[in-house]
Copies of this chain bind each other. A is one copy, B any other.
Amino acid sequence: MRPITAGIAIVVVLGSITVTHAQSWRPPTDAQRCPSKWGAGDQRGAANHVTPAIVLRAAQLIKTGEVIELGHVLSAAMPMPATRQFNLHVKRTVMNPQSNRRGSNEELVTSEIGQVGTQFDGFAHQSIESSHYNCFKTDEIATRTGFTKLGVENVGSLMTRGVLIDVAGLKGADILPDTYEITVQDLQQAMQRQNVSLQPGDAVIIHTGWGKLWGKENARYMKSCPGIGVAAAEWLAKQDPILVGADNFPVEVSPNPDAQISAPVHQIMLVVNGIHLLENLKLDELAAKRVYEFALVVQPLKIKGATGSTVAPMAIR
């Protein structure tokens, strides 16, 4: 596509003259990234990888039946941005009048239930300007009560091979430093150390140790975090995974070392490449047991038109 390349060249030339610290990453244009490789109009992105063959491949990794849970408990005490909430209000007993004296309780929850706790990010969550995955436009798909396209109900339950990349382990650290950017080399060395490699359709799960702060140092947990940056994200996207997850709130390093860009990995994964994110995972047990390869199962709630879903994923080996 020569015109586009030319356009980029001009930008770079201008930039080299006028800007001292060039912006480290620019999102691609709609023309450069649409339609997605999964076809025009596709709403599932890399979740299309979940074929019977991929599920069977995952099932065959189950040797002992041991289940390791990867979800944190959901409560008002969990770390959250100030703009989100998780409130649970018990609706105390209705005692039914019949002779068997059946008491019934339930609860009202008011929460950004798609975007709190251990969570699965859908494609309506993020955009470049107002253009989402596969170039669906916010104005055309957003209503007051949900998105008419790209809602998380399109994803479906996922089962695939999970691969843990233990970067904290590689570095011999309990927890990576507060704003550490994980590099491509880190990922490659960690996998080499663990003797695992990635295959298309995998769920890539990155251990930073940050999850140890969950519920203990909530303010620090949300203020910044170690995670992958632009380079590692682009390298990972090329490995063609179904999803990328981590034990921090945005999967990626936060804030980005380049102050001119905001959460670029969200755009690289969700918008550009159609790869879902799995945030706030609880990975301590998986890492401690050195479970590097496993069947990962995650069932996003089928919330019509939602940007994501709180989840309770499991690793099985």
The answer for the CA separation of A57 and B127 in the assembled complex, in Å, is 43
Centre residue among A143, A297, A305 by max chain B CB count within 10 A = A297
Within 8 A of B (CB), among A85-100: 85, 87-100
The residues of B that contact A95 with a CB separation of less than 8 Å are 129
Given contacts A89-B91, A92-B144, A107-B114, contact A71 B126 (CB under 8 A): no
Question: A105 → chain B, closest Cβ, in Å?
Answer: 5
Which chain B residues border A264 with CB–CB below 8 Å? 100, 102
Contacts of A269 on B, CB cut-off 8 Å? none
User: What chain B residues lie within 8 Å of A23 (beta carbons)?
Assistant: 99-100
Tell me whether B305 and A98 are in contact (CB under 8 A). no
When distances are taken between beta carbons in the complex, the residues of chain B under 8 Å from A91 are: 89, 112, 144
Known: A55-B62, A65-B53, A297-B297. A106 touches B159 (CB 8 A): no
Q: Do B108 and A128 touch (CB < 8 A)?
A: no
- Tell me whether A69 and B126 are in contact (CB under 8 A): no
Q: Which residues of B contact A262 (CB under 8 A)?
A: 96-98, 100, 102
- Which among A99, A102, A143 has the greatest number of chain B C-beta atoms within 10 A? A102
Give Cα A301 to B97, complex, Å: 31
Tell me whether B59 and A156 are in contact (CB under 8 A). Answer: no
Say how far A161's CB is from chain B's closest CB, in angstroms: 12
Residue A138 contacts which of B53, B93, B108 (CB distance < 8 angstroms)? B93
**CB within 8 Å of B: which of A101-127?**
101-115, 117-118, 124-127
A249 CB to closest chain B CB, in angstroms? 13
Q: Which A residues between 46 and 64 are near B, CB-CB below 8 angstroms?
A: 50-59, 62-64
Interface residues of chain A, those whose CB is within 8 Å of chain B, are 23, 25-27, 50-59, 62-67, 69, 71-76, 83-85, 87-115, 117-118, 124-130, 138, 142-147, 153, 156-157, 159, 259-264, 266-267, 295, 297-308, 310-314, 316
A-B contact sample (8 more), CB < 8 A, given A87-B108, A102-B128: A59-B316, A71-B302, A84-B106, A89-B89, A90-B146, A92-B138, A107-B307, A159-B316
